[in-house]
């Protein structure tokens, strides 16, 4: 496989991981806010 293609795949994978992490962090913020509101 050409190096450019490998680099592109790795970049997409990195962007996916970053997106998933942001979703996870935001979800935790929402869940904590809900717990505070319930209290």
Averaged pLDDT of the chain? 95
Asked whether the predicted pLDDT for residue 23 surpasses 90, the reply is yes
Mean pLDDT of 7-36: 96
DSSP-assigned states of every residue in 12-29:
HHHHHHHHHHHHHHHHHH
Stated pTM of the model: 0.70
Asked whether the predicted pLDDT for residue 15 surpasses 90, the reply is yes
């Amino acid at each position: 496989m050409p190096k450019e293609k490998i680099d592109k795949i790795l970049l997409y994978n990195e962007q996916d991981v970053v997106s998933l992490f942001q979703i996870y962090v935001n979800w935790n913020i929402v869940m904590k806010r809900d717990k505070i509101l319930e209290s």
